[in-house]
Amino acid sequence: MELDSTHGPEFIDSEAQLDKYRAQLDAAQAVALTPHASRDFIHALAHDL
């Protein structure tokens, strides 16, 4: 698997690296807003400007 990072492409090929990357993605997904909630949040921010 190739991952773009701030210092260029990085190849992730060991299970330990993949598990760590998957855990980071899972953590981000767990706190992310739904698409509908994201839209509402953006609309509220724009309205407050």
State residue 17's pLDDT score: 83
State residue 13's pLDDT score: 76
E strands present in the chain: 2-5, 8-11
Q: Which residues of the chain have pLDDT under 70?
A: 1-2, 6
Report pTM: 0.56
State residue 37's pLDDT score: 97
CA dihedral sign, ordered 22, 24, 25, 26:
positive
